[in-house]
Amino acid sequence: MLMLSEVRLGDVLELERIAVQVDPDAKYHQIGIRSFGNGIFHRDPCLGSELSKLKYFEVRPERLVVSNIMAWEGAIAVSTDKEEGLVGSARFLSYRAIGEVNLRYLNYFFQSNAGKVLIKSISTGTVTRNQTVSPKNFENATVPLPELAEQRRVVDKLDAAATRMREVSRRKSHADNLILSHADSMFNSVDVHLPLSEALSVSNDFVTVEPESTYQTAGILNRGRGLFKRPIIDGSETKYSRYNRLHKDQFVYSKLFGWEGSLAVVSEEFDGVYVSHEFPTFHIDAAVADVEYMTHLARWRGLHDSLQGQGTGMGSRRQRVNVDRLLATEVPLPGLPEQRRIAKQLTLAREVADASARQVEQLSTLRWSLLDAAFSGRL
């Protein structure tokens, strides 16, 4: 049976504060910590004169580094040799081990459900983004610790699993880049370019919003990542007096973010879902364009790049791509047989990418399951 002792963190960890005398003309590299246990990152170098008015401290390897304002979200990590010589603001608490404790074990513990509950219990503040962990509260907290040998055994297993998960994610990222390049190659090989107006015609289905009715609404992710469903909303709660109803196989885009690649073809899943008037919809002429081809075209970064200069308004976040400008944009549009050939190849590539994405999601779920198993004696 696994033997655990409740240990006060201040008895096995010591806060380390090595103050930095900031030179306004010297360059400094700051650290940050990603949430959800995703480690330390390095900010771009900056001059001392560009640092905030906070105090700054040296970062040393093999320290448990805690973001006192984001620890509740898993912003805790162990520093490595890569962090030697970097600095962190007073918002980062750096601890060295002074007892029988493995820092990586503690870091993994704080990413588990039990660790998150503990961190939230010692955080002060009432607003989600204002929950702060003080050194005093952190050091007075108690955690269940097995013997050092058992800590190392758990860490070795979790490290091995994490390495395999990172490799899967790396391969997925590589595959995604290959798929994007493949799409570039396919579309750029087309000699025939025509305005989108050759394939699309405006086909909106506006409905009056009734206060007593409910509406399943949607938005469009940028970079061609497709439609997503928003929460169902009561008609009495929306600011819109009318919605545009989507229909399967329509082309739809966002006037506000079309320049960012917020375009899509409506799949069966979104048939009958509503969008605001800022999302014009179009009928795809089957005599000119293949729906599957247009689906991939909506995802293509080449089209997104073409729309970046088509917006009106001041500032990147105020650009709008109006209907006339969208329809005037020229795109690769060969004959239907060639469209279907290209679409078939890109669909196969997309299916591989979707399978990889599902695998990464499953691994993410597995990660949390492994953490919970590790800290309940089941690993």
When mean pLDDT is compared across 14-28, 181-195, 278-292, 299-313, the lowest value belongs to 299-313
Q: For residue 316, what pLDDT is reported?
A: 46
Please answer whether residues 302 and 187 qualify as being in contact, where contact means their C-beta atoms are separated by less than 8 angstroms. yes
Q: How confident is the model at residue 5 (pLDDT cuts 50, 70, 90)?
A: confident
When mean pLDDT is compared across 1-5, 161-165, 264-268, the lowest value belongs to 1-5
Q: How confident is the model at residue 379 (pLDDT cuts 50, 70, 90)?
A: low
Q: How far apart are CA 363 and CA 289, in angstroms?
A: 38
Task: Render pLDDT for 252-263 as a digit per residue (tens, 0 to 9).
Answer: 999 999 999 999
Between 127 and 241, residue with greater pLDDT: 241
Show the tokens assigned to 178: 């290959």
Show the tokens assigned to 160: 């091995």
Residues in Cβ contact with 281 at an 8 Å cutoff, skipping those fewer than 6 apart: 202, 203, 204, 205, 244, 246, 247, 250, 251, 252, 266, 275
Q: For residue 302, what pLDDT is reported?
A: 95
Q: For residue 315, what pLDDT is reported?
A: 47
Task: Render pLDDT for 337-358 as a digit per residue (tens, 0 to 9).
Answer: 999 999 999 998 888 777 777 7
Mean pLDDT of 350-368: 73
C-beta pairs of 177-183 under 8 Å, 24+ apart in sequence: 179/349, 179/350, 179/352, 179/353, 180/301, 182/345, 182/346, 182/349, 183/296, 183/299, 183/300, 183/301, 183/302, 183/346, 183/349
Q: For residue 313, what pLDDT is reported?
A: 53
Task: Render pLDDT for 48-104 as a digit per residue (tens, 0 to 9).
Answer: 999 988 999 999 999 999 999 999 999 999 999 999 999 999 999 999 999 999 999
When mean pLDDT is compared across 91-105, 148-162, 356-370, the lowest value belongs to 356-370
Q: For residue 358, what pLDDT is reported?
A: 74
When mean pLDDT is compared across 6-10, 35-39, 190-194, the lowest value belongs to 35-39
